[in-house]
Structure 1
Amino acid sequence: MRSNCETCMYYAYDEEYEEYYCQVQLDEDEMERFLSDRFRDCPYYRLEDEYKTVRKQM
């Protein structure tokens, strides 16, 4: 995958395993497609935008 996972809102840290992982919930078909790397970019990538709430308040 060519997207930058570090800026994705689904990229989280697991303190128990001390590693980062993707939180996207995929069904069996989606997981197969995701792991086979048929995508140019990750289709589940969403930019983590911490200022989104602030913009809505203005």
Structure 2
Amino acid sequence: MSAKTNCDYCINYAYDEEEDYYECQMSLDEDEYARFLKNSFTNCPYFRMGDEYKIVKKQM
């Protein structure tokens, strides 16, 4: 059984400052996008755990 994913921890879930909201940056098909909007997007094939340390290293 696969573990559930949480978009809040995904590297592909980014904040859009211009629109003032978070969005998935992956190109989702219609069914995937509907599940994403309903917050029932479990076992996402695009989920990648965000690594804050890698982000900080790029900023240095």
Q: TM-score range by the shorter chain?
A: 0.5 to 0.7
* Distance (whole Å) between structure 1 residues aligned to residue 51 and residue 16 of structure 2: 21
* Aligned: 1:7 with 2:5: no
Q: TM-score, normalised by structure 1?
A: 0.59
Relative to the length of structure 2, the TM-score reads 0.58
Q: In structure 1, list runs of 5 or more residues that go unmatched.
A: none
Distance 1:5 1:19 in 2: 13
Q: Secondary structure at the match of 1:35?
A: helix
Displacement of 1:36 after TM fit? 5.2
Identity of aligned residues (%): 48
Q: Offset at 1:52?
A: 5.2
Deviation at 1:46, TM superposition (A): 0.4
CA gap of 1:36–1:22, structure 2 versus 1, over 3 A, is closer
- Whether 1:50 and 2:52 are equivalent positions in the alignment is yes
Deviation at 1:47, TM superposition (A): 0.3
Backbone CA RMSD of aligned residues: 2.6
Number of residue pairs aligned between Structure 1 and Structure 2: 48
